[in-house]
Amino acid sequence: MVDLLQRFGRGWIGAFERFGRATLFLLQVIIGLPSLFGRGFLLVKQLYSTGVMTLLIILVSGLFVGMVLALQGYNSLVRFSAEEALGQFVALVLFRELAPVLTALLFAGRAGSAMTSEIGLMKATEQLAGLEMMAVDPYKRVYAPRLLAAFIAVPALTAMFGAVAILGGHLVGVEMLGVDAGAYWSQMQSEVSFRHDVLSGMLKALVFGFVICWIAIFEGADCIPTSEGVSSATTRTVVYSSLAVLGLDFVLTALMF
Amino acid sequence: MSNVITLDENAESLVKIRDLHFQRGSKQIFRGIEMDLPRGQITTIMGPSGTGKTTLLKLIGGQLKPAKGSIEVDGQNVPKLSRSALYALRKRMGMLFQSGALLTDLTVFDNVAFPVREHTDLPESLVRHLVLMRLHAVGLRGARDLYPAELSGGMARRVALARALILDPTMIMYDEPFTGQDPISMGVLLDLIKTVNSALGLTSIIVSHDLHESMSISDYVVIVSDGVVVEAGTPEALRASESPWVQQFLQGKSDGPVPFQLEAPDYRDDLLGAKHG
């Protein structure tokens, strides 16, 4: 029994210790952010590898999610003869919830895992140590550009996810199921508030992007520099960031709406 | 301090190590190492595998912090330096890692140019000249467009050497520079290390297992074992040493005061135990 309690306690102390280290790590990365002024090429490179390279999966997923939403929404709304509200339904569900959350989950799976494994391998192959010995600070050169890139890329990808999903909804709702195109767009325009719905969703995306990247770069930098270490760090990134996104989504939704 | 091993009474020391203690997990790696490494000379650090020679280089470079003791490089106590002061000091240090530690997403050319582009505002034409000169010195001017994954281990280490030398550091640390080199590259590399050391007034610290090669270019040799300095002196003095420890190490005998086997239970008991277990 005592042994069990000891192990439980040790586990919690370990978790808090790690969280403390992650927070100090984040502070150092944030301190390194101003060094990106005048070194925009580092940011552009990361925007390309995290943002642009994730674009395809975001657009395809967005299209299908919009199509499914329209199909499900239409089937429910048509029972109450309210199919004209399809545009409003699709847009609200997307901007408030699905676009930020699904984009964040896809980003964590595609870009977050890639960031962790890249940084983990840089650690395992002594590239990070090499940078330090060349007097190049990895916080400024490696971590800071990635954090800022994710902070910019996730909201941008969320916006694109939402836009493509609305087109997907239009494709199924209007083109296939025969909802009036005017009703689809006008309902959406009149009922969706830019500030309350769209910007709130974007705020969620900003928070998600920041948290995912924090987890991803910390896991990479903190991993055990072996093949198993890198692979388990990559797994942890996907698991922790998915849980963080879903948990934070609840908190943010409760605060915003 | 009377027990400090000073390699050259007349030479000024660039690196001063005093009472250095370091442990990894429960294993004590260093137990009060003391040494002075002279400026402008080539010093080789030798010792059996696992004695912490690479760890010593990392401690000098400030990548690891000792449990106790001081490491002064050019008058600055490395473990106590602030982050910015440590990075300023590292600009004057070069380090050649065992693996090369080349950045895998950059070509050979960009890898060698990396420190110059990071720390100076030199025009690209000048960077090109500097890089090509260093690559030519290590015989790899023709590999400038290759990526590190396309190089052999020995070639990668030579590129890393070119990179370590490009900013003309005050001191350079080589971690196993001779591993994986063919005889021709080995000769060129030995010449290169010797030449840059005398021509640029560098201080070189080499960690190597290649006895004959490293002793042929070293001014001094330090032998470390079991957490302390066992013997130090010029290569000639070490060859003439009567210490059975040094003789066993230099002649590569398995029999002597240095155990070949890592500490383990009795061999017979171990085998019989395995049979029953």
Banded pLDDT at B246 (limits 50, 70, 90)? confident
| Nearest chain A CA: its distance from B6 CA (Å) | 26
- Cβ atoms of B21 and B30 closer than 8 Å: yes
Structural Rg of chain A based on CA atoms: 21
- Cβ atoms of A141 and A119 closer than 8 Å: no
Q: What is the pLDDT of residue B211?
A: 83
pLDDT exceeds cutoff 80 at A137 = yes
Name the residue in chain B with its Cα closest to that of A121. Answer: B104
Q: What is the pLDDT of residue B3?
A: 45
Q: What is the pLDDT of residue B184?
A: 84
pTM: 0.86
Q: Say if the Cβ atoms of B91 and A135 lie within 8 Å.
A: yes
pLDDT exceeds cutoff 80 at B31 = yes
Q: What is the pLDDT of residue B271?
A: 86
Q: Which residues of B touch A125 (CB under 8 A)?
A: 99, 101, 104
> Quick one: three-class SS letters along chain A?
CHHHHHHHHHHHHHHHHHHHHHHHHHHHHHHHHHHHCCCHHHHHHHHHHHHHHHHHHHHHHHHHHHHHHHHHHHHHHHHHCCHHHHHHHHHHHHHHHHHHHHHHHHHHHHHHHHHHHHHHHHHHCCHHHHHHHCCCCHHHHHHHHHHHHHHHHHHHHHHHHHHHHHHHHHHHHHHHCCCCHHHHHHHHHHHCCHHHHHHHHHHHHHHHHHHHHHHHHHHHHHCCCCHHHHHHHHHHHHHHHHHHHHHHHHHHHHHHC
pLDDT exceeds cutoff 60 at B138 = yes
Of the candidates B171, B167, B182, B155, the residue with the CA atom closest to the CA atom of residue B100: B155
pLDDT exceeds cutoff 80 at B4 = no
Q: What is the pLDDT of residue B1?
A: 37
Amino acid identity for residue B191 in this structure: D
Banded pLDDT at A210 (limits 50, 70, 90)? very high
- In percent, how much of chain A has pLDDT > 70? 100
For residue B41, the SS3 value is coil
Q: Say if the Cβ atoms of A125 and B87 lie within 8 Å.
A: no
Q: What is the mean pLDDT of residues A222-245?
A: 95
Q: Within 13 Å and on the Cβ side, how many CA atoms surround B175?
A: 22
pLDDT exceeds cutoff 60 at B215 = yes
Computed over every residue of chain A, the mean pLDDT equals 93
Q: What is the pLDDT of residue B190?
A: 87
Other residues' Cβ atoms within 10 Å of the Cβ of residue B15 = 20
Q: Say if the Cβ atoms of B61 and A125 lie within 8 Å.
A: no
Task: For chain A, list residues whose CB is within 8 angstroms of any CB belonging to chain B.
Answer: 125-127, 129-137, 141
Q: Which residues of B touch A42 (CB under 8 A)?
A: none
Banded pLDDT at B5 (limits 50, 70, 90)? low
Computed over every residue of chain B, the mean pLDDT equals 86
Banded pLDDT at A120 (limits 50, 70, 90)? very high
pLDDT exceeds cutoff 70 at B2 = no
Q: What is the mean pLDDT of residues B6-27?
A: 81
Q: Say if the Cβ atoms of A126 and B101 lie within 8 Å.
A: yes
Of the candidates B43, B12, B92, B74, the residue with the CA atom closest to the CA atom of residue B204: B43
Task: For chain B, list residues whose CB is within 8 angstroms of any CB belonging to chain A.
Answer: 58, 61, 63, 83, 87-88, 90-91, 93-95, 97-99, 101-104, 114-115, 118-119, 160, 163
Q: Say if the Cβ atoms of A125 and B115 lie within 8 Å.
A: no
Q: Which residues of B touch A130 (CB under 8 A)?
A: 95, 97, 101-103, 160
Q: Say if the Cβ atoms of B61 and A130 lie within 8 Å.
A: no
Q: Say if the Cβ atoms of B115 and A132 lie within 8 Å.
A: no
For the ranges A62-76, A130-144, B48-62, which has the lowest average pLDDT?
A: B48-62
Q: Which residues of A touch B82 (CB under 8 A)?
A: none
Q: What is the pLDDT of residue B275?
A: 54
Q: Which long-range contacts (CB under 8 A, 24 or more apart) does A135-139 make?
A: A135/B87, A135/B88, A135/B90, A135/B91, A135/B115, A135/B118, A135/B119, A136/B114, A136/B115, A136/B118, A137/A32, A137/A35, A137/B83, A137/B87, A138/A221, A139/A28, A139/A29, A139/A31, A139/A32
Q: What is the pLDDT of residue A141?
A: 92
State pLDDT tens for residues A64-100: 999 999 999 999 998 898 888 899 999 999 999 999 9
